[in-house]
Structure formats: C-alpha cells, structure tokens
Amino acid sequence: MARAVFFDRDGTLIKDVHYLKDAADIKIIDGVAEALNEIKKAGFLMFMHTNQSGIARGYYDWGDVHSCNRRMLELYNLSPDFWDGICIAPESPDADEVGYRKPSQKYELEMTKKYNLDPSLCWMVGDKWIDVETGLKSKMNAALVRSGKEINSEIENLASIEKIPICDDILSFYNSCILKI
Ligand SMILES: [Mg+2]
C-alpha cells in the first residue's frame, strides 16, 4: 500500500497572508523546498489541501489561487507537476453542505481510495487544529507546525492529549516526525 503526506498551504508551506490573492505577496519559509524534495524522494505521494473561503466570499477567484499555487512551486524551484494532487476547498465556514473544507476529510478519503493509501503510514500536517482534525478523522498521523497561526496553550494541551507532535516548521517535521512511524 502507498503512503502520502497531505500538506496545508497557508502558514505551513508559505507564510500566512490574510486572504492571499496576489502571487507577489507570497513569502516563503526556509527549508520547505528541501523538506518537500526529501519527503517525495522517500516515496511519499504528495498532496496539498488548502481551505480558500476567499473564493466563496468573493475576495478572489479560482484563477488567483491557481496562480499563487504555481508561483509557490516556482519560488521553491519545484516542477509544475510536483504535486500528486491538490484540493482547493472554496467553501465558506458557514456553508450548509459539507464539502472539502477542512476539517472535512472528504478529500483525504477520496485519495486514500484512489491511490490505495495505508492511512497509518500517512500524515496530515498544518498550522491549525482543523488540519490535525482532518488527519485524525482520516485515521492518519497528524502534526502541527509553528510557522503559521500562533499555537496557544489550549492547542498545546489538545496536542499533548492526542499525542500530536508540534514542529517548528516543515523541515523540522521532516527531520523529526516523518520517518519515525
Ligand atoms: Mg494554514
């Protein structure tokens, strides 16, 4: 069975910019490119799952998100087909129907089926607790990174109860977590 890592985007792969619309505003995080290359080389399928309620709210459109995703890969010197899959969840948090917006695990379950993933060998990593919830609901491992939204003591407590590692950033996640399962 295959294994995979699902990455959040904002605050995890790039710095968190409030409703990022313009690719010119992307700020990279040190070590991300190196970590992504190493994780892929280690044989993990690579997915990105990003909540973009700015689409539902009309702050930006799909084209803006695709442009930012492309630019991020360029800035990290990664090939345009680096990802095995990308999920952009456009829904607003108060949408009536459950879609792809995290903590919905709809995307993870679809990819698990499509690629015959073993969830116990997979990771979901992000800067918010909703990322962790998405991983846990998918029966995957989950980790938090401190490169985005502040991780307060309440989240630290939750992480400790659920045995969720908290890493400084994606490079630290690669060095300390990913091969330890
Ligand atoms: Mg995030």
Nearest CA-CA partner of 33 in 94, 91, 74: 74
Mean per-residue pLDDT, 145-149: 98
Cα 43 from Cα 16, distance rounded (Å): 28
Q: pLDDT value at position 180?
A: 67
In the reported structure, the alpha carbon of residue 37 is separated from the centroid of ligand 1 by a whole-number distance in angstroms of 20
- Token digits of residue 141: 């491992």
Q: Mean of the per-residue pLDDT values for the chain?
A: 96
Distance of CA 148 to the CA centre of its chain: 11
Please determine, for residue 35, whether its predicted confidence score (pLDDT) is greater than 80.
yes
- Taking only the tens place, the pLDDT of each residue in 88-142 is 999 999 988 889 999 999 999 999 999 999 999 999 999 999 999 999 999 999 9
Percent above pLDDT 70 for the chain: 99
Q: pLDDT value at position 181?
A: 61
Do the Cβ atoms of 47 and 6 come closer than 8 Å?
Answer: yes
- Token digits of residue 149: 């939204």
Neighbours of ion ligand 1 (CB under 5 A): 8, 10-11, 127, 148
| Total domain count, the chain | 1
- pTM of the predicted model, to two decimals? 0.97
In the reported structure, the alpha carbon of residue 75 is separated from the centroid of ligand 1 by a whole-number distance in angstroms of 19
**Active centre residues (catalytic):** 8, 10
Please determine, for residue 68, whether its predicted confidence score (pLDDT) is greater than 80.
yes
CATH number at residue 69: 3.40.50.1000
Q: Which domain holds residue 105?
A: 4-180
In the reported structure, the alpha carbon of residue 90 is separated from the centroid of ligand 1 by a whole-number distance in angstroms of 14
